[in-house]
């Protein structure tokens, strides 16, 4: 079964709007939570990552919010741009898992002009 559940499957946002993608997990041993961005026909690229000792991390227009008690984390894309149109994946791994990432199913984001 999927260890990381991601929603929504897809979303459409207007230019300048906020895109929000949510992920939930069950394994409390997860201690590393990255987000990847993937363009069609390309490999995923790391966007931003967080560890459970902080509740929020911001890099430019991208912010991860982390709620340890709820076992949820989310990606916020502020001031969304057409160039942000891509598929976004959340993932998680434990410290003793040899770096094996468990991926969510992905969210296709379309930013309209």
Partner 1 sequence: DGGITQSPKYLFRKEGQNVTLSCEQNLNHDAMYWYRQDPGQGLRLIYYSQIVNDFQKGDIAEGYSVSREKKESFPLTVTSAQKNPTAFYLCASRSGATDTQYFGPGTRLTVL
Among 30, 62, 66, 89, binds partner 1 (CB under 8 A): 89
Among 69, 70, 96, 99, binds partner 1 (CB under 8 A): 99
Contact between 77 and 62 (Cβ < 8 Å): yes
Is residue 74 close enough to count as binding partner 1 by CB under 8 A? no
Q: How far is the C-alpha of 11 from the C-alpha of 62, rounded, in Å?
A: 16
How far apart are CB 32 and partner 1 at their closest, in Å? 5
User: Closer to partner 1 at the Cβ: 77 or 91?
Assistant: 91
Is residue 93 close enough to count as binding partner 1 by CB under 8 A? yes
Q: How far is the C-alpha of 96 from the C-alpha of 70, rounded, in Å?
A: 22
Q: How far is the C-alpha of 59 from the C-alpha of 4, rounded, in Å?
A: 23
Per-residue contact track with partner 1, 29 to 48, x per CB under 8 A? Answer: ---x-x-x----xxxxxx--
Query: In the chain, which ranges are E strands?
Result: 4-7, 10-14, 19-25, 30-38, 45-50, 56-59, 62-67, 72-77, 86-94, 102-103, 107-112
Name the site residues for partner 1 (rule: CB under 8 A): 2, 4, 6, 9, 32, 34, 36, 41-46, 49, 89, 91, 93, 98-101, 103-106
């Amino acid at each position: 079964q999927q260890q990381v559940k991601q929603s929504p499957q897809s979303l459409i946002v207007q230019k300048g709007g906020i895109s929000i993608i949510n992920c939930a997990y069950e394994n409390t041993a997860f201690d590393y939570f990255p987000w990847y961005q993937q363009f069609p026909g390309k490999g995923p690229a790391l966007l931003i990552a967080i560890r459970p000792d902080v509740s929020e991390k911001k890099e430019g227009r991208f912010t991860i919010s982390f709620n340890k008690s709820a076992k949820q984390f989310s990606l916020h894309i502020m001031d969304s741009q057409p160039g942000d149109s891509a598929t976004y994946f959340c993932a998680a791994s434990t410290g003793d898992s040899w770096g094996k990432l468990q991926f969510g199913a992905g969210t296709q984001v379309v930013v309209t002009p």
